[in-house]
Structure 1
Amino acid sequence: MAAESGHRSLFGEILDWMLAPLLVIWPISVALTWLVAQGIANKPYDRELGEMARTLGLQVATEPAPADLARRGRSRYALAPEAAALLRADEADTVYYQVLGLRGELLSGDRHLPVPEAEPPVVPWELHFRDDEINNESVRVAFLWVAPEGMAGGERRMLVQVAETLGKRSRLTNEIIKGVILPQFVILPLAVLLVWLALARGIAPLNDLQRRIRSRDSSDLSPIDEQRIPDEVAPLVQAINDLLERLDQSIRAQKHFLADAAHQLKTPLAGLRTQAELAQREIDEGRSSPAELRRSLKHIALSSQRAAHMVNQLLAMARAEDQQHAARRSEVNLAVLAIETVRDFVPRAMEKRLDLGYEGPEASQASLRISGHPLLIRELIRNLVDNALLYTPAGGTVTVRVVEDPFGQVCVLQVEDSGPGIAEAEREQVFQPFYRALGTNVDGSGLGLAIVREIVQQHDAEIAVDDTRARRQVEVDGAGPGARFTVRFAAHPLATSAH
Structure 2
Amino acid sequence: MAEREHRSLFGEILDWMLAPLLVIWPISVALTWLVAQGIAGRPYDRELGEMARNLGLQVAAAQAPEGRRSRYALAPEAAALLRADEADTVFYQVLGLRGEFLSGDRHLPVPEAEAPIVPWVLHFRDDEVGGENVRVAYLWVAPEGMAGSTQTMLVQVAETLGKRSRLASEIIKGVILPQFVILPLAVLLVWMALARGIAPLNDLQRRIRSRESSDLSPIDERRIPDEVAPLVRAINDLLGRLDQSISAQKHFLADAAHQLKTPLAGLRTQAELAQREIDEGRSSPAELKRSLKQIALSSQRAAHMVNQLLAMARAEDQEHAQRRSDVNLSGLAVETVRDFVPRALDKHIDLGFEGPDASQSALRVHGHPLLIRELIRNLVDNALLYTPAGGTVTVRVVEDPFGQVVVLQVEDSGPGIPESEREKVFQPFYRALGTNVDGSGLGLAIVREIAQAHDVEITLDATRSLRPGQGTEDGQGPGARFTMRFGARPRAEGSTAEGDAGLEP
1:145-224 mapped onto 2 (5 Å cutoff): 145-151=140-146, 153=148, 156-224=151-219
What SS does the aligned partner of 2:134 have? strand
| Structure 1 range deviating more: 173-182 or 12-21 | 12-21
- Deviation string 1:354-379 (CA, Å, 9 cap, x unpaired) is 22222222222222223222111111
- Deviation string 1:57-77 (CA, Å, 9 cap, x unpaired) is 22233334379x99xxxx723
Query: How well do the aligned residues superpose, as a CA RMSD in angstroms?
Result: 2.5
Cα distance in structure 2, aligned partners of 1:123 and 1:29: 40
When residues 139 and 218 of structure 1 are mapped into structure 2, their CA distance, relative to the original with a 3 A threshold, is same
Cα distance in structure 2, aligned partners of 1:397 and 1:154: 130
Cα distance in structure 2, aligned partners of 1:476 and 1:153: 135
Cα distance in structure 2, aligned partners of 1:120 and 1:290: 137
Tell me which residue corresponds to 1:445.
Answer: 440
Cα distance in structure 2, aligned partners of 1:11 and 1:66: 83
Tell me which residue corresponds to 1:26.
Answer: 25
Unaligned runs of 5+ in 1: none
- Does 2:376 correspond to 1:381? yes
Displacement after TM superposition at 1:21 (Å): 1.2
When residues 475 and 159 of structure 1 are mapped into structure 2, their CA distance, relative to the original with a 3 A threshold, is farther
- Does 2:485 correspond to 1:488? yes
1:348-367 mapped onto 2 (5 Å cutoff): 348-367=343-362
When residues 413 and 100 of structure 1 are mapped into structure 2, their CA distance, relative to the original with a 3 A threshold, is farther
Cα distance in structure 2, aligned partners of 1:36 and 1:120: 31
What SS does the aligned partner of 1:91 have? coil
1:14 partner amino acid: I
1:401 partner amino acid: R
- Does 2:371 correspond to 1:372? no
Tell me which residue corresponds to 1:44.
Answer: 43
2:432 partner amino acid: A
Tell me which residue corresponds to 1:58.
Answer: 57
Cα distance in structure 1, aligned partners of 2:390 and 2:149: 131
Tell me which residue corresponds to 1:15.
Answer: 14
| Structure 1 range deviating more: 108-117 or 171-180 | 108-117
1:128 partner amino acid: H
**8 Å CA contact retained: 2:379, 2:447:** yes
When residues 42 and 299 of structure 1 are mapped into structure 2, their CA distance, relative to the original with a 3 A threshold, is same
Query: TM-score when scaled to structure 1?
Result: 0.92
Tell me which residue corresponds to 2:227.
Answer: 232
Residue 87 of structure 1: which of 82, 106, 127 is its match? 82
When residues 250 and 57 of structure 1 are mapped into structure 2, their CA distance, relative to the original with a 3 A threshold, is same
Cα distance in structure 1, aligned partners of 2:329 and 2:154: 102
What SS does the aligned partner of 1:357 have? strand
Query: TM-score when scaled to structure 2?
Result: 0.91
What SS does the aligned partner of 1:124 have? coil
Displacement after TM superposition at 1:81 (Å): 2.9
Displacement after TM superposition at 1:106 (Å): 2.1
- Does 2:434 correspond to 1:468? no
When residues 117 and 418 of structure 1 are mapped into structure 2, their CA distance, relative to the original with a 3 A threshold, is farther
Displacement after TM superposition at 1:268 (Å): 0.8
What SS does the aligned partner of 1:388 have? helix
**8 Å CA contact retained: 1:66, 1:76:** no
2:64 partner amino acid: A
**8 Å CA contact retained: 2:136, 2:159:** yes
1:487 partner amino acid: M
- Does 2:103 correspond to 1:108? yes
**8 Å CA contact retained: 2:467, 2:478:** no
Cα distance in structure 1, aligned partners of 2:306 and 2:11: 54
2:172 partner amino acid: I
1:57 partner amino acid: G
Cα distance in structure 2, aligned partners of 1:57 and 1:471: 126
Cα distance in structure 1, aligned partners of 2:15 and 2:380: 64
What SS does the aligned partner of 1:160 have? strand
Cα distance in structure 2, aligned partners of 1:155 and 1:379: 112
1:358 partner amino acid: F
Displacement after TM superposition at 1:56 (Å): 2.2
Displacement after TM superposition at 1:313 (Å): 0.4
What SS does the aligned partner of 2:111 have? coil
Displacement after TM superposition at 1:492 (Å): 2.2
Cα distance in structure 2, aligned partners of 1:409 and 1:388: 28
1:381 partner amino acid: I
- Deviation string 1:171-197 (CA, Å, 9 cap, x unpaired) is 011001000000011111111111111
When residues 100 and 495 of structure 1 are mapped into structure 2, their CA distance, relative to the original with a 3 A threshold, is farther
1:398-437 mapped onto 2 (5 Å cutoff): 398-437=393-432
- Deviation string 1:109-154 (CA, Å, 9 cap, x unpaired) is 2221112236354232222222111111111112222333333646
- Does 2:283 correspond to 1:282? no
What SS does the aligned partner of 2:438 have? coil
Tell me which residue corresponds to 1:140.
Answer: 135
**8 Å CA contact retained: 1:133, 1:139:** yes
What SS does the aligned partner of 1:251 have? helix
Displacement after TM superposition at 1:414 (Å): 1.6
1:109-128 mapped onto 2 (5 Å cutoff): 109-117=104-112, 119=114, 121-128=116-123
**8 Å CA contact retained: 1:384, 1:449:** yes
| Structure 1 range deviating more: 168-177 or 77-86 | 77-86
Cα distance in structure 2, aligned partners of 1:176 and 1:227: 53
> Which has more helix, going by share of residues?
1
**8 Å CA contact retained: 2:63, 2:72:** no
| Structure 1 range deviating more: 47-56 or 405-414 | 405-414
**8 Å CA contact retained: 2:365, 2:488:** yes
When residues 409 and 131 of structure 1 are mapped into structure 2, their CA distance, relative to the original with a 3 A threshold, is farther
What SS does the aligned partner of 2:227 have? helix
Displacement after TM superposition at 1:315 (Å): 0.7
What SS does the aligned partner of 1:141 have? strand
Cα distance in structure 1, aligned partners of 2:125 and 2:151: 21
1:217 partner amino acid: E
Tell me which residue corresponds to 2:244.
Answer: 249
When residues 98 and 407 of structure 1 are mapped into structure 2, their CA distance, relative to the original with a 3 A threshold, is farther
| Structure 1 range deviating more: 489-498 or 46-55 | 489-498
Unaligned runs of 5+ in 2: 496-505
1:415 partner amino acid: V
Cα distance in structure 1, aligned partners of 2:266 and 2:99: 130
- Deviation string 1:306-350 (CA, Å, 9 cap, x unpaired) is 110000001111111112212222222222212211111111112
Displacement after TM superposition at 1:93 (Å): 0.8
What SS does the aligned partner of 1:61 have? helix
Cα distance in structure 2, aligned partners of 1:251 and 1:123: 96
- Identical aligned residues as a percent: 84
